[in-house]
Amino acid sequence: MNTSNFLSIPAMMFPDQKILIFKGHFDEDLELTYAELLDRTNRLGNALRDYGVERGDKVAVLQTNSNQYVEAHYATAKLGATFVPLNYRAKRDELLYMLTTSQAKILLVGDRYLDVALDVKRELPMLRYLIGMEQGSGGVRGEGVMSYEALVKASSPDEIDTDVDDDEVAILMFTSGTTSLPKGVLLSHGDFTNLVFETVEPADGTDRGKALLSVPLYHVAGITTIMTSLFGGRQLVILPQFDPREWLHAVSNHKITHAFLVPTMLKRVLDDEEFMFHEISSLQILSYGAAPMPLPVLRRAIDVFPNTVGFINAFGQTESTSTVTMLTPEDHRLEGTPEEVEKKLRRLTSIGKPLPGVELKIFDEVGNEVPAGQIGEIAIFSNRAMKGYVGQEEATRQTLSEGWLRTRDLGWVDEDGYVFLAGRKGDMIIRGGENIAPEEVESVLYSHPAVEEAAVVGVPDEEWGERVMAFIALKPGHTATEADLIEYCRQRLASFKKPEIIRFIPELPRNALGKVLRKDLRARI
CATH code: domain of residue 394: 2.30.38.10
Q: How many percent of the chain have pLDDT more than 90?
A: 82
- Residue 135's pLDDT is 57
Q: Residue 48: which CATH number? A: 3.40.50.12780
| Residues 465, 334 share a domain | no
- Residue 139's pLDDT is 47
Nearest Cα residue to 212 out of 111, 266, 312, 286: 286
Work out the average pLDDT over 130-154: 79
**256, part of any domain:** no
Distances (CA, A) of 482 to 36, 132, 312, 437: 59, 51, 36, 20
Contact 480, 450 (CB under 8 A): yes
| Residues 122, 54 share a domain | yes
Work out the average pLDDT over 99-103: 98
| Residues 385, 355 share a domain | yes
d(Cα 212, Cα 260) in Å, to the nearest integer?
7
**307, part of any domain:** no
| Residues 89, 45 share a domain | yes
Identify the H or E element spanning 501. Answer: strand 501-504
- Residue 474's pLDDT is 97
| Residues 420, 502 share a domain | no
pLDDT at 447 exceeding the cut of 50: yes
| Residues 170, 75 share a domain | yes
**280, part of any domain:** no
Tell me the residue type at 220.
Answer: V
For helices 295-304 and 263-271, what crossing angle results, to 10°? 50
SS3 content of the chain, % helix, strand, coil (to 5): 35, 25, 40
Supply φ then ψ for residue 425, to 5 degrees.
-55, -40
| Residues 489, 419 share a domain | no
0.75 exceeded by pTM = yes
From the CB of residue 431, how many other CB atoms can be counted at a distance below 10 Å?
Answer: 18
Contact 74, 44 (CB under 8 A): no
CA 252 to chain CA centroid, Å, is 24
Contact 315, 351 (CB under 8 A): yes
Q: Find the domain containing 93 and state its range.
A: 5-14+34-188
Mean predicted lDDT score pLDDT of the chain: 93
β-partners of residue 106 are 59, 129
d(Cα 303, Cα 323) in Å, to the nearest integer?
25
pLDDT at 158 exceeding the cut of 70: yes
Contact 209, 58 (CB under 8 A): no
- Residue 5's pLDDT is 98
**204, part of any domain:** no
E strands, 26-65, are: 28-33, 58-62
- Residue 143's pLDDT is 66
- pLDDT tens digit sequence for 241-295: 999 999 999 999 999 999 999 998 999 999 999 999 999 999 999 999 988 888 8
**144, part of any domain:** yes
- Residue 79's pLDDT is 99
- pLDDT tens digit sequence for 310-362: 999 999 999 999 999 999 999 999 998 999 999 999 999 999 999 999 999 99
| Residues 411, 386 share a domain | yes
- pLDDT tens digit sequence for 410-441: 999 999 999 999 888 888 898 987 888 888 89
- pLDDT tens digit sequence for 353-365: 999 999 999 999 8
d(Cα 248, Cα 212) in Å, to the nearest integer?
10
d(Cα 392, Cα 375) in Å, to the nearest integer?
28
- Residue 24's pLDDT is 75
- Residue 140's pLDDT is 45
d(Cα 360, Cα 244) in Å, to the nearest integer?
35
**471, part of any domain:** yes
**224, part of any domain:** no
Q: How many domains does the chain have?
A: 3
pLDDT-based confidence at 27, cuts 50/70/90?
low
Supply φ then ψ for residue 59, to 5 degrees.
-120, 120
Identify the H or E element spanning 502. Answer: strand 501-504
Work out the average pLDDT over 461-488: 94
Sheet holding 210-213, edge to edge: 28-33, 18-25, 235-238, 210-213, 258-261, 285-288, 310-317, 322-327, 353-354
pLDDT at 95 exceeding the cut of 60: yes
- pLDDT tens digit sequence for 193-241: 999 999 999 999 999 999 999 999 999 999 999 999 999 999 999 999 9
Domain boundary among 188, 203, 225: 188
- Residue 332's pLDDT is 96
- Residue 351's pLDDT is 97
d(Cα 236, Cα 73) in Å, to the nearest integer?
15
β-partners of residue 187 are 171
Helix extents (H) in 315-435? 329-332, 338-347, 393-399
| Residues 183, 67 share a domain | yes
Tell me the residue type at 123.
Answer: E
Q: Among 64-73, 134-143, 356-365, 471-480, which stretch is predicted with the lowest mean pLDDT?
A: 134-143
**Contacting residues for 440 by C-beta, under 8 A, at least 6 apart:** 422, 423, 493, 497
Domain boundary among 188, 203, 231: 188
E strands, 221-284, are: 235-238, 258-261
**519, part of any domain:** yes
